[in-house]
Amino acid sequence: MVEFTAEEINFMKIALAEGQIAIEEGEVPVGVVFVYRPDPLKNTACSIDSSVPFFGPGEILGKGHNRTNATKNGTRHAELVIVDEILARGHPPSVFQECDVYVTCEPCIMCAGALSLLKIRRVVFGCKNDRFGGCGSILSVHGAPHLRHRYVADAGLMENEAIRLFKSFYARENRQAPDTKRRKKGLSAVT
């Protein structure tokens, strides 16, 4: 069992708050925080020019939540939304090699693969994803031996709080769900 620090708990609290915002916006409550963790032995800067703010160790590069329903795009998972935002601010892709990711739920197989391609340093998640998990629940994409880059994935930080967040979401009707799914539950959109 991994011992998490007070700082890591704080980052997960921010991810959980993003998950709550997602619920309020009708999204699945995946919240994420990208934290800059440079190697102290390397002299690396997080910005490529003076117009991009420099981030020091332990600073948040980006935070956010799922946007799949809002964008009608199934690939707009929280992790990928924030990757795009960080890159749009002018940071080089190499910045992800020095990032830890805190996310409410285990990254899905797609996101776990994308994080591997970005050479992310570490992923810390709250609850497991028993349907689509890519960091150990279904597949272990993060540690697949055929990949050039593997990353550490630590589970269980504020797991109960993350589970409560998801239960809260699934207790509500998802008005974004296809009508056939609502009927299956007896929750047809027709009133």
Record the tokens describing residue 86, joined without a space.
């960080």
Q: Residue 68: in which H helix or E strand, if any?
A: helix 68-71
Q: Among all chains, which residue has been given the structure tokens 């997080």? A: 46
Please state, in angstroms and rounded to a whole number, the distance separating the CA atoms of residues 186 and 11. 38
Contact partners, residue 34, CB within 8 Å, separation at least 6: 60, 61, 62, 63, 82, 83, 86, 96, 99, 100, 101
Task: Answer for the pair 95, 116: CB distance below 8 angstroms, yes or no.
Answer: no
User: Which one of 8, 79, 98, 106 is the catalytic residue?
Assistant: 79
Name beta bridge partners: 31: 65
Task: Answer for the pair 168, 31: CB distance below 8 angstroms, yes or no.
Answer: no
Residue 79 appears among annotated catalytic residues: yes
Task: Answer for the pair 191, 155: CB distance below 8 angstroms, yes or no.
Answer: no
Task: Answer for the pair 158, 13: CB distance below 8 angstroms, yes or no.
Answer: yes
Q: What residues are labeled active site?
A: 79
